Amino acid sequence: MVDKSKLPPHLVVNRLWVPENVSDQRRPIAHVGDRRRRRTGAILIAAGGILALAALATRADFWLAFIALLIAWAGVAYAGGGRTGFYEVREDGGLGQYLGRSKPDIDLMRPSKPG
């Protein structure tokens, strides 16, 4: 369904939905994630968690724990950004129109393997 050779190397298809009925004219929908942003975001979340644990262990001031929370929050925001979101899949297997970050209407669609 999705041609991985038509995707940039840092993008990965997490999930794919196809119409249940053959007569349905809607295009398949893919949820795409950015591998590099997810990795960097995970590092920021881990750094924030370690800093928060260090603040608790040393009984540091409140502002240090708040900074750790901000670092972790920035990691979450960064990991979910970039080209991450839902896309229509074109006939040739490439990514079509960007549908946004929130889940589109997939009620009459069934999940399928991305490969």
Measured between alpha carbons, how far is 104 from 87 in angstroms, rounded to an integer?
9
**Predicted pLDDT at 17:** 92
Mean pLDDT score of the chain, rounded to an integer? Answer: 89
Residue 1 has pLDDT above 80, yes or no: no
**Predicted pLDDT at 115:** 65
- Give the chain as a DSSP string: ---GGGS-TTEEEEEEEEESSTT--PPPEEEEEEHHHHHHHHHHHHHHHHHHHHHHHTT--HHHHHHHHHHHHHHHHHHT-TT-EEEEEPTTSSEEEEEESS----TTEEEE---
User: What is the token pair recorded at 5?
Assistant: 């050779």
Percent of the chain whose pLDDT exceeds 70 = 99
Residue 82 has pLDDT above 90, yes or no: no
* Predicted model pTM: 0.76
**Predicted pLDDT at 69:** 93
42-70 pLDDT, tens per residue? Answer: 999 999 999 999 988 888 888 888 999 99
Measured between alpha carbons, how far is 91 from 43 in angstroms, rounded to an integer?
37
Residue 73 has pLDDT above 70, yes or no: yes
Backbone angles phi, psi at 14, to 5 degrees: -85, -40
**Predicted pLDDT at 49:** 94
Measured between alpha carbons, how far is 7 from 4 in angstroms, rounded to an integer?
5
